[in-house]
Structure 1
Amino acid sequence: MKKIDRAKADQYFKEKNRYMAMYLVIWLASSFGVVLFAESLSTITLNGFPFHYFMGAQGSIVIFIILLYINAKVSDGIDKKYGIDESKNEQISYGKTLDH
């Protein structure tokens, strides 16, 4: 298996961690931020429910699922950018040999 350069690996993990931090901030804002401002958001309605209630009941879960999908797509792009090929890693894990 091809080894990755230390500097390139550091850049890779720095980029992955930066996106992960951004996802966590979005998730925190959608889950707990709405609760902090529930009284001022109660004038906004969504599907007949106050916005803060909707976000607590369904909205934050939907946002979490959307963030999972976005994370998968962005991570695949980052992997391709740094030359990490998941199909080759999968072949190696099954014990198959690779032709270079």
Structure 2
Amino acid sequence: MKRIDKKTADAYFRTRTILISIYLVIGFSASFGAVFFAEFLAEFTFNGFPLHYYMGAQGAVLTFIILLFVNAIVSDRIDKKYGIDEARNESIGSGKTVDH
């Protein structure tokens, strides 16, 4: 199994931690922000509904789904950037031996 340099591993996990924190802030803002600013958001409409109602009914869920796809795409790019090969990980995870 290929060893990863400690500096590379630290940079990888630092990047992933920052991104996860950003995703959590966006998710928190989408779900609780609609409640905190309901009176202000009531002035705006989206799809024929007041924005605070839409965010409470569907917007927060759609935001989380979009964040899932964004996370998957960005994670793949980060894995490639730091040299983490998906095919190699799958073969190791399935119990197959990997030759260098």
Smaller-chain TM-score range?
over 0.9
The residue number in structure 2 matching 1:64 is 64
**Unaligned regions of 5+ residues in structure 2, if any?**
none
The residue number in structure 2 matching 1:75 is 75
Percent of paired sites with the same residue: 59
Alignment of 1:1-100 (within 5 A): 1-100=1-100
TM-score normalised by the chain length of structure 2:
0.94
Partner amino acid for 1:56? Answer: G
Does the residue aligned with 2:7 lie in a helix, a strand or coil? helix
Shift of 1:56: 0.5
Partner amino acid for 2:3? Answer: K
Partner amino acid for 2:15? Answer: E
CA RMSD, Structure 1 to Structure 2 (Å): 1.0
Partner amino acid for 2:8? Answer: K
CA deviation string 1:74-97 (max 9, x = no partner): 000000011101111111222323
Aligned length: 100
